[in-house]
Chains A and B, each alone.
Chain A
Amino acid sequence: MKSIFGKSKELEKNIEEYLDIVEEALLIFERDINRYLEGQYDLFEENLDDILTVENNADDILKEIKYKLYTYMLIPEARGDVLNIIESLDNEVDLCKKVLMQFSIEKPEIKDFIVSDFKELTKQSLKSAEQLVRGIRTYFEEISMVNEYVNKVHFYEHEADKLEERIKRKVFSTDHINDLCKKVHIRHFSERLAYFSDLAEEISEILSVASIKRSI
């Protein structure tokens, strides 16, 4: 029979661990996408298991958090919101795995003239997700700072949107790619990369509402 102090500490640790794993997944994703864009395909394929391991760990911890949140009867007022935020964040980790798998299976042909744009899009889109994770950390510890991070999420999402549009315009107006199928394929991948920031923006809205509800 654990005391309320022990249960509380345990759950706090689990959530910290989970957020660390999400950040790790984002870092692995950025590393692997850069390898792919730089043409290091062998290295890209060799380390593909990393994201699978991280994703499995994230799922295990998420299950534990869900179980403990409801059986320990902690934070009854906020547990619905906390679970909603954490579960939504899990979509970011899933997305990391799915997009890397798509790159591995579909092998899109990213021409040199758009590689830097793709890199920049990945960077801005992931920055949005990183700011979201930081915002979630402050939700637990320094509620008044949440809005600052939510604003940053919006900013990077907007930047990612602009880059996504830029890539599409470049691809569909260039003579370097003649095949329409390839153009559509690249468009699809640019959209997938930008989706990290779209998702981060959606979750940041949930976070924003939850932080207002937490005001005493």
Chain B
Amino acid sequence: MTSFLFISSGLFLGWSLGANDAANLFGTAVSTKMVKFTTAAVIISIFVTIGAVFGGTGTTETLGALGSVNALAGAFVVALAAGVTVYLMTCYELPVSTTQSIVGAIIGWNLFSGRPTQLDVLYKILGTWVFSPILSALFAIVFFKIAEYIVKNCRIHLFKIDMFTRIGLILVGAFGAYSLGANNIANVMGVFTKTSILASLQIGFITLSNTQVLFLLGGLAISVGVFTYSKRVMSTVGRNIFKISPVASLVVVLSSSVVLFIFASEGLESILLNLGLPTIPLVPVSGSQAVVGAVIGIGLAKGGRNVNYKLLGKIGLGWVLTPLFALIISYIVLFFMQNVFMHQVYF
């Protein structure tokens, strides 16, 4: 029971990921009534959980290399610090990402426990934060140009475009949910993997390792976040943040999902290794920032009009502020957990 109490902070983080980041996948589709909210929520829940359980190990290893949180109470504090940072920054309408807050919180644990932070891993992670929105923008430019060419030259009836867009939004949304689960589950549950609190599980023919069971719980927490809170976030995303056409929103979701996927896919990593090509690091990246990158990409593809360059500045601010806040909160709460509540936060 105590174990479950300790992973509650991770579940809270999962809930906020479901409420916020998942909304990016279907925000425009739901707010423009192209896809019903219930359909979107069911698709996200299923695929985010599949992604988390079967594709989440790659990014978890990277976070583990950054800081191997080995005590349950310590993992609880790290996830709590990340969750509180996300909550506080959201309250003050500051740009925030679960990825950046968990990294800050882990570094806070490293500092508190006196473990060295692997700088090469840290630089790799920081590099992907900068690189992922840029990559997402590049993908968006390419996909947008392809979509524009097809719409302009293929004489497709308006109703058929609408139908293909709907189907596309559902398929790409499912792919996006899978990628989000695979890439971001490390943020939610990654810190608990070294603490081995759960046993493995047999469901029919499938055997889930203890880490996968943990990720399954994380996936369910994300699903709860989707069903309980993402509807209003979706309408904000659709109406206020990027008011774009359904076809353009399809491009945005596809581009950001591909980015999340390539930074999480072990399959892709092994293909690149076999081909003797340089691999892409498996790092949790921010889905929201990939979306912003894709929206800017579309703006650039349209000739640079209506591009909100302030958003870029905000993202940059988020790279610095989020980990810093999470680090400070993590350090302070670890101190209290060890010295006031008398729980061992590291071994």
- In the bound complex, CA of A105 to CA of B147 (Å): 55
Q: Is A139 an interface residue (CB 8 A)?
A: yes
Report whether A78 and B158 are in contact in the complex, using a CB–CB cutoff of 8 Å: yes
Report whether A75 and B158 are in contact in the complex, using a CB–CB cutoff of 8 Å: yes
Report whether A216 and B159 are in contact in the complex, using a CB–CB cutoff of 8 Å: no
Tally of B interface residues using CB under 8 Å: 22
Say which residue of B147, B156, B158, B167 sits within 8 Å of A214 (CB atoms).
B158
Report whether B159 and A75 are in contact in the complex, using a CB–CB cutoff of 8 Å: yes
Looking at chain A's contact residues, is the secondary structure mostly helix, strand, loop, or mixed?
A: helix
Interface residues of B in 158-212 (CB under 8 A from A): 158-160, 162-163, 166-167
User: Which residues of chain B are near A144, meaning CB under 8 Å?
Assistant: 152
Report whether A216 and B158 are in contact in the complex, using a CB–CB cutoff of 8 Å: no
Q: Is B310 an interface residue (CB 8 A)?
A: no
- In the bound complex, CA of A26 to CA of B30 (Å): 41
Stretch with Cβ within 8 A of A (4 or more), from B43-51, B242-250, B317-325: B242-250
Say which residue of A4, A73, A140 sits within 8 Å of B158 (CB atoms).
A140
Report whether B159 and A8 are in contact in the complex, using a CB–CB cutoff of 8 Å: yes
Q: For residue A90, give the distance in angstroms from its CB to the closest CB of chain B.
A: 19
User: Which residues of chain B are near A9, meaning CB under 8 Å?
Assistant: 159
Q: Is A74 an interface residue (CB 8 A)?
A: yes
A216 and B147 in contact, given A4-B163, A75-B162, A77-B246 (Cβ under 8 angstroms): yes
Report whether A74 and B159 are in contact in the complex, using a CB–CB cutoff of 8 Å: yes
User: Which residues of chain B are near A141, meaning CB under 8 Å?
Assistant: 155-158
- In the bound complex, CA of A5 to CA of B265 (Å): 34
Interface residues of A in 74-109 (CB under 8 A from B): 74-78, 82
Bitwise, B110-147 to A at CB < 8 A (1) or not (0) is 00000000000000000000000000000000001001
Interface size bracket, A side: 20 to 34
Report whether A8 and B152 are in contact in the complex, using a CB–CB cutoff of 8 Å: no
Bitwise, B244-276 to A at CB < 8 A (1) or not (0) is 011110000000000000000000000000000
Nearest CB to that of A216 among chain B residues? Answer: B247
User: Which residues of chain A are near B248, meaning CB under 8 Å?
Assistant: 216
Interface residues of A in 94-150 (CB under 8 A from B): 139-144
Q: Is B33 an interface residue (CB 8 A)?
A: yes
Report whether B148 and A139 are in contact in the complex, using a CB–CB cutoff of 8 Å: no
- In the bound complex, CA of A32 to CA of B243 (Å): 50
Q: Is B241 an interface residue (CB 8 A)?
A: no
Q: Is A21 an interface residue (CB 8 A)?
A: no
- In the bound complex, CA of A73 to CA of B248 (Å): 19
Q: Is B32 an interface residue (CB 8 A)?
A: yes
User: Which residues of chain A are near B163, meaning CB under 8 Å?
Assistant: 4-5, 8, 74
Q: Is A64 an interface residue (CB 8 A)?
A: no
User: Which residues of chain B are near A216, meaning CB under 8 Å?
Assistant: 144, 147-148, 151, 245, 247-248
A74 and B162 in contact, given A216-B147, A216-B248 (Cβ under 8 angstroms): yes
A76 and B33 in contact, given A4-B166, A143-B151, A216-B148 (Cβ under 8 angstroms): yes
- In the bound complex, CA of A19 to CA of B241 (Å): 38
Report whether A139 and B245 are in contact in the complex, using a CB–CB cutoff of 8 Å: no
Q: For residue A165, give the distance in angstroms from its CB to the closest CB of chain B.
A: 39
Q: Is B34 an interface residue (CB 8 A)?
A: yes
Q: For residue B223, give the distance in angstroms from its CB to the closest CB of chain A.
A: 25
- In the bound complex, CA of A4 to CA of B163 (Å): 7
Q: Is A11 an interface residue (CB 8 A)?
A: yes
Chain A CB within 10 Å, residue with most, of B147, B159, B166, B246? B159
A4-B163, A74-B162, A141-B157 known, 6 other contacts, Cβ within 8 Å: A12-B157, A77-B245, A82-B158, A140-B159, A141-B156, A216-B247
CB<8 Å pairs between A and B, sample of 23: A4-B167, A5-B163, A8-B160, A11-B159, A73-B33, A74-B162, A74-B163, A75-B162, A76-B33, A76-B34, A77-B32, A77-B34, A78-B158, A78-B162, A141-B156, A141-B157, A141-B158, A142-B155, A143-B152, A214-B158, A214-B245, A215-B245, A216-B147
Q: Which residues of B contact A (CB under 8 A)?
A: 32-34, 144, 147-148, 151-152, 155-160, 162-163, 166-167, 245-248
User: What 5 pairs between A and B have smallest CB-CB spacing?
Assistant: A76-B33, A216-B247, A8-B159, A75-B162, A140-B158
